Amino acid sequence: MHRRFMTIWFRHLTTDWLAIRQPALRQIPFVLAENVHGRKVITAANILAQRQGIDCGMVVADARAIFPSLEVLDDVPDRAEKLLMALARWTVRYTPVTAIDPPDGLILEVTGCAHLWGGEAAYLQEITTRLATLGYDVRAAMAGTIGAAWAMSRFGQGELIAHGGSESTALLNLPPAALRLSPEILDRLHPLGLNRLHYLIAMPRAALRRRFGPELLLQLDRALGRVEEMIQPVEPPVQYRERLPCLEPIATRTGIEIALSRLLDTLCHRLQSEEKGLRTAAFTCHKLDGKAASIAIGTHYPSHRAAHLYKLFEEKIASLAPDPGIELFTLEAPVVEDCPPGQIMLWKESGGVADPRVAELLDRLAGKMGESGIHRYLPDEHYWPERSIKLASSLQELPSIPWPADRPRPIRLLKAPVQIGVTAPIPDYPPMLFRYLGKVHRIKKADGPERIEQEWWLEKGPRRDYYQVEDEEGQRYWIFRSGPYKADQSNQWFLHGFFA
């Protein structure tokens, strides 16, 4: 498929934007200006001011001599670029690949998009009409190269679509400025009478290079498709992304659910065919007012099962506000991992964390409780209890060492030990009682001590003597004395975990 591009020229970008927010400005000539070396210079003029002979680059004092009642507003730095970024994100409803072309344009790669609107002419008309409805004065053109589309949108007359390799024909009668050449080159072309591109296309390349340098040839080759021109999208394209435009605006939950189901079926079929599964996904609703509402999910294991993913999204659909109507749905999976088909077994035991049903259960729980409420831990190569475990990055991560089985460890280990008050007899004897959260626990059974030395190559500190103790109510705790026993001073005791 041949690539297709569209360029959109906003002829009065910043002044149109102001007029949209202040409708009274539409009826009067006004300009935007900024201070340059102590003088106010016009940076943008609306169409009514241009009709009075006022345009960019003029000094405000000179402009007011022409039109005394001219309204002058302060320009804001970077406003044009910010407006282009917002408009580029708005055009995602028409194509996923959009780049800004400062100071007043957009570049869209529209390959394979126009058929959804009934052809390129209808597609071009739809976009320009929508922008005009929003209040922008625009010209747009479509061609097989960025250079040709840019030239036609700024200087073209009549047909603004170059079909199937006709870019050279569309460029013949346009001026050299249509090639986006520097002012220095344009100044050298004009005295020679080279005021149309057909003169340049017909001239020997060696002569053009010798007289005007490589820039002219590069821009000419880009426009004619001899050299590929790259663009930098405002949002990096996602490989796994599906779109569903709406013939009529959708404003009901039922319509949203149907759209989500269709997109999931399409995306999951593609993922399954490529033996992939998604780890994160986002469902976005693009509304008529230019705003977008989105919900996202994550999975603990790569999944391409549409029914399971739909249930994860279903719990969040209520947060989507469809007013004033949704015109485009998108579903994208930015994080995708390998998910080969599992081997069918005649018999098997419980699969543990490798069982996809466990991962799906965790996904459902995470959707209700939040991802921060579910953790999986693996043993780590440390003796010090706080460092002996680590968070697993995923369900597929395997432990580097086995869980220690020679010494019992508590089911719940506190993130940091809590100091407790203890009554204990002579050294190496377990305590008789301890106080925790205002309650006295009398110890009936105890085992220990287990001495754990500080890992001196990581941190210096006293050793610990750990005891497993059981109180009168049958609750078991893991407590320790910090440092060696000293008869002349009280020792510090800490609670570090619970066995039940």
**Rounded average pLDDT per 10-residue block, the chain, 500 residues:** 90 95 94 92 94 93 93 92 94 91 95 88 94 95 95 92 88 94 92 91 91 93 92 88 88 93 95 92 91 90 91 91 90 90 52 67 74 78 87 77 83 90 79 91 91 88 92 93 74 88
Of 254, 256, 252, 180, the residue nearest 218 (C-alpha): 180
Task: List Cα–Cα distances, 155 to 259, 285, 359, in angstroms.
Answer: 41, 36, 58
Strand partners, 41: 34, 59
Question: If we measure between CA atoms, which residue out of 193, 164, 157 comes closest to residue 178?
Answer: 157
Whether the Cβ atoms of residue 330 and residue 336 lie closer than 8 Å to each other: no
Cα gap 236→311, rounded to integer Å:
28
Which one-letter DSSP state was computed for residue 409?
-
Topology at the third CATH level for domain 241-338 = Dna Ligase; domain 1 (3.30.1490)
Q: Rounded to an integer, what distance in angstroms lies between the CA atom of residue 484 and that of residue 71? A: 84
pTM equals 0.69
Residue 268 DSSP SS3: helix
Taking the mean position of all CA atoms in its chain, how far away is CA 121? 31
- Both tokens of 170, joined, read 């569309």
Sequence-ordered alpha helix ranges (H) in 139-213: 146-155, 167-171, 183-189, 197-202, 205-212
User: Going along 304-340, which residue ranges are E strands?
Assistant: 326-338
DSSP helix/strand/coil, 484: coil
Q: Residues near 125 by Cβ (< 8 Å), separated by ≥ 6?
A: none
Q: What are phi and psi of 184, to 5 degrees?
A: -60, -45
What span, in angstroms and rounded, lies between the C-alpha atoms of 218 and 214? Answer: 6
Q: Where do the domains of the chain lie?
A: 1-237, 241-338, 412-498
Count of positions (residues) in the chain: 500
Summary count for the chain: helices (H), strands (E): 14, 19
Alpha carbons 356 and 146: distance in angstroms, whole number: 47
What pLDDT was estimated at residue 354? Answer: 61
Q: What confidence score (pLDDT) does residue 28 get? A: 94
For 40, 84, 232, 244, the CA distances from 104, given in Å and listed in that order, are 21, 7, 16, 29
Q: Does domain 1-237 have CATH number 3.30.70.270?
A: yes
Residue 208 CA to residue 64 CA, distance in Å, equals 44
Q: How far is CA 270 from CA 28, 263, 267, 306, in A?
A: 55, 11, 5, 11
CA 316 from centre of chain: 19
Predicted local distance difference test score (pLDDT) of residue 490: 66
Task: Give SS3 for 276.
Answer: strand
Looking up tokens 């009514």, which residue turns up?
48
Q: Which residue intervals of 70-119 are DSSP H helices? A: 79-90
pLDDT of residue 233: 92
CB 420 within 8 Å of CB 493: yes
Query: What is the CB neighbour count within 10 angstroms for residue 172?
Result: 12
Q: Are strands 389-391 and 30-36 parallel, antiparallel or unpaired?
A: unpaired
The two structure tokens encoding residue 497:
């975990």
What does the alpha-carbon distance between residue 107 and residue 92 come to, in Å, rounded to a whole number?
12
Contact by Cβ (8 Å): 415, 497 = no
* Tokens 């043993």, located at residue: 379
The dihedral formed by the CA atoms of 249, 254, 260 and 263, expressed in degrees to the nearest 10: -70
